[in-house]
């Protein structure tokens, strides 16, 4: 009598956006862009509206086409670096518990911010930093392109079909979907178009995310 050898279950991976997903930095982003806008004589609300859906260099082209984009970027970076040092922000409820419980090597960060700022904020909020961190400097095409999430999956040695993306913003959701991954939305009162599941807060999603990584939930849709 013979028995068929059980086939191994593919490992599951989780890729997190940072700002708005793990770190509550919305007020900080608005303040930074507002200060930047005032410096250039622009309307803070309009600049922030554009910045929410574009990368910085694209934002400068849209709102300050007569300015040197490299100078604009340097000014923005200085403001953002100062915010990391002195700004008031916190990790979302459940973030520390979730990241500390995830198995090493099965999760990473995919952010439109820069690595040194992410590390600074994580140090101040006590969050662990994974081995895989794809930031704005790592890719030429940012969200909503699939490139950032595909690069993170490659660095983890994961197939897109085995990855779960946790996002809060439309551009990030599109990025994960274009990469062929399962996407769950958090920290928003209304589901972002396209997400496979929606949670009003990160805290609500914690047990489901942990279940996904252990294979307890084979179907994440």
Enzyme catalytic residues: 17, 19
Cα distance between residue 87 and residue 75, in whole Å: 17
**For residues 15 and 153, is the Cβ–Cβ distance under 8 A?**
yes
Across 204-215, b (16+ Cβ under 10 Å) vs e yields: ebbeebbebbee
Cα distance between residue 31 and residue 97, in whole Å: 29
Contacts of 191 (CB under 8 A, 6+ apart): 185, 198
**For residues 108 and 99, is the Cβ–Cβ distance under 8 A?**
no
Q: Report the chain's terminal Cα–Cα distance, integer Å.
A: 39
Cα distance between residue 143 and residue 172, in whole Å: 6
Across 56-65, b (16+ Cβ under 10 Å) vs e yields: beebbeebbe
The dihedral built from the CA positions of residue 151, 157, 158 and 159, taken in this order, carries a sign that is: positive
* H or E stretch at 111: none
């Amino acid at each position: 009598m013979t028995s068929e050898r059980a086939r191994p279950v593919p490992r599951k991976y989780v890729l997190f956006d940072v700002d708005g997903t793990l770190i509550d930095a919305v007020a900080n982003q608005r303040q930074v862009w507002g200060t930047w806008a005032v410096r250039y004589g622009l309307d803070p609300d309009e600049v922030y509206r554009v910045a929410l859906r574009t990368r910085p260099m694209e934002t400068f082209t849209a709102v300050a086409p007569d300015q040197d984009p490299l100078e604009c970027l340097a000014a923005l970076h200085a403001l953002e670096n100062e915010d990391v040092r002195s700004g008031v922000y916190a990790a979302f409820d459940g973030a520390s518990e979730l990241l500390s419980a995830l198995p090493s090597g099965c999760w990473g960060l995919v952010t439109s911010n820069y690595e040194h700022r992410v590390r600074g904020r994580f140090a101040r909020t006590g969050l662990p930093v994974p081995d895989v961190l794809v930031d704005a400097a790592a890719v030429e095409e940012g969200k909503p392109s699939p490139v950032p999430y595909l690069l993170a999956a490659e660095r983890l040695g994961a197939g897109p079909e085995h990855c779960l993306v946790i996002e809060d913003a439309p551009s990030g959701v599109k990025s994960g979907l274009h990469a062929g991954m399962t996407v769950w939305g958090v920290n928003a009162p209304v589901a972002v178009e396209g997400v496979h599941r929606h949670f009003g807060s990160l805290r609500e999603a914690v047990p489901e995310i942990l279940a996904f990584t252990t294979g307890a939930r084979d179907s994440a849709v």
